[in-house]
Amino acid sequence: MTEHDAVDIIRTKRDRGELMPEQIDWVIDAYTRGVVADEQMSSLAMAILLNGMTRPEIARWTAAMIASGERMDFSGLSRPTSDKHSTGGVGDKITLPLAPLVAVFDVAVPQLSGRGLGHTGGTLDKLESIPGWQADLTNDAMLAQLEDVGAVICAAGAGLAPADKKLYALRDVTGTVEAIPLIASSIMSKKIAEGTGALVLDVKVGSGAFMKTREDASELARTMVDLGTDAGVNTVALITDMSVPLGLTAGNALEVRESVEVLSGGGPQDVVDLTVALADEMTRAAGQEVGADELRAALSDGRAMDVWRRMISAQGGDPDADLPTAAETETITADADGHLEHVDALAVGVAAWRLGAGRARKEDPVQAGAGVELHVRPGERVSAGQPLMTLHTDTPERFARAQESLEGAWRISEQAPAAREVVLDRITARGA
């Protein structure tokens, strides 16, 4: 590979120029090898945040990150693969019921997931609250489970896009996490390297999401759909509401419990609706015409639950074990009669984080039983003194800080609010 000058590359992007393919290949490879210093890459990341990238630049940047590591291959499986990625939110436990539901219909789901950071919960943290469950699998074990069970949720191996792991850590401490080209290439480099045949993206928008506006969410969704399409992956995105928490729980074991309710044919309506909407997209993208009615039936009649139990057991977990509960609880009550008009997702996410459900740094531990449990959904009628939410933690000194984040986080009004749609838009390779 021809040597380039990191300073020239930084200047090009600083001055709103377009990086050449060979410059992108070199800078990603050189940064991964340690030839380009952190301060140089952080300068380039800031220039990208401020000045953006063209579609060819983002595609080449993503390809260079994929080329930094290994690629998985699912072509030997007896069924097609379809995966889902969520950009993260509060109470977003959708992967847990979704993966086994899709697997019911002869579509393999290789769900490589992550841990939570800040106010957004991590799928692996949730599942690790199940006694015995293990996140780390070898590639061979993952393939065997996909063939046998049809669904796997596990940690991504270190070999997938190592450039992304290094660059993500840098973005986290340099104020460049929000750069849409870098978010899109980070997500898609891992998903394309993973080797899935179809990918459905759940792009969250609202106070509890990284994208606060519909415009930013649409730009991110379009960028990722283009990247997937250009790489030969059948990709579609749903833009979904994250202005209020998903379901009634935010926290690890609390969300597992709610997911099991959904797999038992119950659970909150918004969690069921989004699970079915994403399952419909995933099965269609894999060539299976199932339909929403049949998907809902598989949640009600135990077929999805059967796959869940096998999936958890295959990774050492006990699906019948009691889930951890927090040692201490504190209840917040309504201060007026009326309709619960709104509950702010970010405030609930921060409260769950402060109670111990999340982490400030990657190496921090989490409490399995900590989090926030809502007793009322927006739109429902409440009376003064009625419980609105319960806070859970093992460390009661955390209650005060959690309650601070919830000040002003809900509104009670005389009028019932308008019905809320969870799925706001659909972005495909042919347009929205």
By CB neighbour count within 10 A (0-12 exposed, 13-18 middle, 19+ buried), where does 167 fall?
buried
In the chain, list all ranges with CATH 1.20.970.10. 6-52
Identified catalytic residue from 60, 84, 85, 354: 85
Identified catalytic residue from 4, 171, 309, 398: 171
Q: What are phi and psi of 204, to 5 degrees?
A: -85, 145
In the chain, list all ranges with CATH 3.90.1170.30. 328-413
Render pLDDT for 194-205 as a digit per residue (tens, 0 to 9). Answer: 889 999 999 999
What's the pLDDT score for residue 432? 47
Asked if residue 181 has pLDDT above 70, the reply is yes
DSSP-assigned states of every residue in 302-318: SHHHHHHHHHHHHTT--
Q: How confident is the model at residue 160 (pLDDT cuts 50, 70, 90)?
A: confident
Give the C-alpha separation, 151 to 283, whole Å: 13
Structure tokens that stand for 197 in this block: 């045949």
Cα distances (Å, whole numbers) of residue 1 to 29, 30, 59, 61, 64: 9, 10, 19, 16, 12
Give the C-alpha separation, 257 to 29, whole Å: 43
Q: How far is CA 153 from the centre of its chain?
A: 12
Give the C-alpha separation, 135 to 206, whole Å: 30
CATH dotted code for 6-52: 1.20.970.10
Mean pLDDT within 162-183: 88
Domain 328-413 -> CATH class: alpha beta
What's the pLDDT score for residue 171? 87
Q: Decide if 417 contacts 341 (C-beta within 8 A).
A: yes
Give the C-alpha separation, 28 to 68, whole Å: 8
Mean pLDDT within 175-179: 86
Q: Please tell me the number of Cα atoms within 13 Å of 22 on its side-chain side.
A: 6
Asked if residue 175 has pLDDT above 50, the reply is yes
Residue tagged 């969690």 (tokens): 271
Identified catalytic residue from 125, 164, 280, 344: 164
Other residues' Cβ atoms within 10 Å of the Cβ of residue 22: 12
Identified catalytic residue from 186, 189, 218, 405: 186
339 carries an active-site annotation? no
Residue 374 in 3-state DSSP? strand
Asked if residue 156 has pLDDT above 90, the reply is no
What's the pLDDT score for residue 161? 86
Residue tagged 């929403």 (tokens): 292
Q: How confident is the model at residue 1 (pLDDT cuts 50, 70, 90)?
A: low
Residue of higher predicted confidence among 221 and 170: 221
Q: How confident is the model at residue 121 (pLDDT cuts 50, 70, 90)?
A: confident
What's the pLDDT score for residue 131? 97
Mean pLDDT within 72-86: 94
What's the pLDDT score for residue 116? 67
Mean pLDDT within 361-371: 84
342 carries an active-site annotation? no
Render pLDDT for 317-328 as a digit per residue (tens, 0 to 9). Answer: 999 999 999 999
392 carries an active-site annotation? no
Q: Which amino acid is at 277?
A: A
Q: How confident is the model at residue 364 (pLDDT cuts 50, 70, 90)?
A: confident
Q: Decide if 92 contacts 303 (C-beta within 8 A).
A: no
164 carries an active-site annotation? yes
Mean pLDDT within 377-400: 96
Asked if residue 119 has pLDDT above 80, the reply is no
Identified catalytic residue from 84, 190, 222, 398: 190
In the chain, list all ranges with CATH 3.40.1030.10. 82-320
Between 3.40.1030.10, 3.90.1150.10, 3.20.20.80, 3.40.50.10950, what CATH number should domain 82-320 receive? 3.40.1030.10
Q: Which long-range contacts (CB under 8 A, 24 or more apart) does 210-218 make?
A: 210/87, 210/88, 210/120, 210/177, 210/178, 210/183, 211/87, 214/239, 214/424, 214/425, 216/180, 218/425, 218/427, 218/432
Asked if residue 162 has pLDDT above 60, the reply is yes
Max distance between CA atoms of the chain, in angstroms, equals 70
What's the pLDDT score for residue 126? 94
212 carries an active-site annotation? no
Render pLDDT for 251-267 as a digit per residue (tens, 0 to 9). Answer: 999 999 999 999 999 99
